[in-house]
């Protein structure tokens, strides 16, 4: 279990590592780069090849403070090559430590739907899908058919516009964010995938990148769709060669919405590090017409 700089979570837990690319958001996978750079080490002996880590199954019970835990930041729990038997062991570990909330993302909702057709989703699990552009929006429809207390979307890395109109019924939380990584230092790649461009204003430091005017509405359209539906909205970052290079304000506001409107979604007596300003920011955010 590790602390994380991912601003919508607190800890990462990886009872498995390694994955396979399935769509455009995977092209510059940060997890693959990290694992391959450490191939042959104790942490990643097999690089980014699938590696089960049963010795980590007891970790949630050892953390006493209720926490938000990004579950499998280095893999996808619904990767086809992970067996249902091992998934059962992971969910048994989750049920043994229900004081946490487990944020579980997949790009394979069809596998999740099959798995949960004969099993229940623990109430402590927030189940989400990644939607990096409109071509993967059908994942939302599959997710909506799974009975989970909290369903969420990660529209990040956002490499194209995503229209959520009519697709947020039953979706409680939406995370949005532009892509980040050193590959975006290449102008050709940046033109194709980034939501930012170089900021010529030296006075803008520490934000040397600024949102592209022609892609700014990618973020505001997400926000407005969430406001219209009543889904919580979190804008993670604009992205760039470094994650914080473009800041994270949309129309001057940092959006830190969490699914606090869902009964039982948050741990009892819990305050996330970003939640103190969430209510105020939601009230200040422009309303959809």
The domain ranges of the chain are 2-284
Cβ neighbours for 103, distance < 8 A, ≥ 6 positions apart? 8, 9, 68, 69, 70, 71, 126, 128, 152
CA–CA gap between residue 183 and residue 33 (Å, rounded): 12
Q: DSSP alpha helices (H): ranges in the chain?
A: 30-37, 59-62, 84-95, 109-116, 138-144, 187-193, 216-229, 278-284
What confidence score (pLDDT) does residue 201 get?
Answer: 67
What confidence score (pLDDT) does residue 276 get?
Answer: 42
How does DSSP classify residue 251?
A: T
What's the predicted TM-score (pTM) here?
Answer: 0.90
pLDDT tens for each residue of 177-222? 999 999 999 999 999 999 999 987 656 666 789 999 999 999 999 9
pLDDT band, residue 277 (cuts 50/70/90): very low
Across 110-117, average pLDDT: 98
pLDDT tens for each residue of 11-47? 999 999 999 999 999 999 999 999 999 999 999 999 9
The larger pLDDT score, comparing residue 245 to residue 284, is at 245
pLDDT band, residue 289 (cuts 50/70/90): very low
Cis status of the peptide bond prior to 206, with omega within 30 of 0: yes
What confidence score (pLDDT) does residue 208 get?
Answer: 86
Looking at the DSSP assignment, which residues form a beta bridge with residue 155?
176
Q: Which two tokens stand for residue 76?
A: 């996808």
Q: Which two tokens stand for residue 234?
A: 């979190």
- Assess whether pLDDT exceeds 60 at residue 282: no
Phi, psi dihedral angles at 8 (to 5 degrees): -95, 5
CA–CA gap between residue 83 and residue 77 (Å, rounded): 10
Across 153-181, average pLDDT: 96
């Amino acid at each position: 279990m590790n602390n994380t700089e991912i601003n919508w979570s607190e800890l990462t837990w990886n009872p498995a590592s390694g994955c396979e690319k399935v769509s455009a958001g995977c092209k510059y996978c940060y997890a693959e780069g990290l694992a391959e750079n450490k191939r042959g080490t104790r942490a990643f002996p097999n690089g980014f090849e699938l590696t089960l880590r049963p010795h980590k199954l007891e970790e949630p019970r050892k953390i006493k403070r209720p926490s938000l835990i990004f579950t499998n930041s280095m893999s996808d729990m619904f990767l086809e090559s992970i067996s249902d038997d091992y998934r059962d062991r992971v969910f048994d570990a989750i049920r043994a430590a229900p004081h946490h909330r487990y944020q579980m993302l997949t790009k394979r909702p069809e596998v999740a739907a099959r798995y949960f057709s004969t099993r229940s989703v623990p109430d402590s699990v927030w189940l989400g899908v990644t939607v990096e552009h409109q071509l993967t929006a059908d994942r939302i429809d599959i997710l909506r058919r799974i009975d989970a207390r909290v369903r969420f979307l990660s529209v990040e890395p956002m490499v194209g516009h995503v229209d959520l109109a009519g697709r947020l019924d039953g979706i409680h939380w939406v995370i949005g964010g532009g892509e980040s990584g050193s590959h975006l230092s290449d102008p050709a790649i940046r033109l194709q995938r980034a939501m930012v461009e170089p900021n010529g204003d030296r006075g803008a430091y520490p934000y040397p990148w600024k949102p592209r005017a022609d892609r700014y509405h990618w973020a505001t359209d997400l926000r407005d769709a969430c406001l219209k539906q009543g889904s919580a909205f979190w804008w993670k970052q604009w992205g760039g060669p470094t994650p914080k290079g473009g800041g994270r304000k949309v129309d001057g506001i940092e959006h830190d919405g969490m699914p606090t409107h869902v009964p039982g979604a948050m741990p009892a007596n819990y305050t996330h590090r970003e939640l103190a300003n969430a209510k105020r920011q939601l009230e200040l955010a422009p309303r959809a017409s």
